[in-house]
Amino acid sequence: MVTFVASTQSGNGNVSYTNPIFPGWNSDPSCVFVAERDNTFFCTTSSFLAYPGAPIHPSKDLINWKLASNVINRPEQLPTLLTDNNKKPIAYYAETELQNANERKAMIAQLTEKYGKPKYAFFIASDFNQCSYEWVLADRTIQIETSFGFSTGVETNNGKYYKLDMLILDNKVKTALHQAHIFEFPEKIRYRGKEHSYKDFQFDKKSVFKDEFLLNSTYDHLIKNENNQYDISLASADE
């Protein structure tokens, strides 16, 4: 707990108050001042998987707050809301930045020791030594994607940082999830008042739109690996 000194709107001068001002876990606060609502501040915070979600706290002095409502408070707002405690999410995604290449290597080594050699391992891009490893287990699939980059905001390692993305999928939904990423263009596309063929824009009839929940093993060019350009042995050992 931390104590701050602040000046209130009421004109009472400096007062002491205890931080955090909201009890419990309330990350990513977003606040707005609404003069039309009796000069009141309103703050909402991230609630992640909690329901009701996105709590709203009003205050007139930025010190005294109370829970007024929740943005997400009706099941119909979330058609896919898991209200059955026996159900579980079908996918998990997380990312982190590592201090050095050894931490990345240690993560890959631990997974290999526990689950064996990955079924798929790709060297995706040389610019940032982007690599992907995929373990297919009986009930789930684990994918680790690693890379490095440079940022002026990172003070360690001369600005170099190491990124690791982890995806865990329920094997029962892998096919359906992949199909959900495929978009098929119509024969004709209306653009600026005229009809065009999708070929005029050099689009493929079916295109895959990538996000964090798409396995790299679903890409044909990585699986075919023509000329061995995606062979994991090409990855830089130092990065």
Digit-coded pLDDT (tens) for 148-201: 876 555 455 566 778 889 999 999 888 888 888 888 888 888 888 889 998 888
More confident residue, 150 or 145: 145
Using CA of residue 73, residue 74, residue 75, residue 78, what is the dihedral sign? negative
Could you tell me which residues are beta bridge partners of residue 191?
A: 194
Distance (Å, whole) CA 132 – CA 145: 4
pLDDT band of residue 239 (cuts 50, 70, 90) is low
**Are 28 and 9 contacting, i.e. CB atoms less than 8 angstroms apart?**
no
Q: Strand, coil or helix: what is 219?
A: coil
Sorting pLDDT into bands at 50, 70 and 90, what band is 4?
very low
pTM for the full predicted model: 0.59
pLDDT digits (tens, 9 = 90+) for 75-123: 767 655 555 555 566 788 888 877 777 888 888 999 999 999 999 999 9
In angstroms, the CA 199 to CA 118 distance is 38
> For 52-59, which contacts have Cβ atoms below 8 Å and span 24 or more sequence positions?
55/26, 57/22
- Which residue's entry shows tokens 């130092």? 238
What's the rounded Cα separation, in Å, for the pair 34 and 11?
Answer: 19
Contacts of 5 (CB under 8 A, 6+ apart): 14, 15, 16
CA gap 239, 101 in Å, rounded: 6
Q: Under a CB-based contact definition with an 8 Å cutoff, are residues 148 and 158 in contact?
A: no
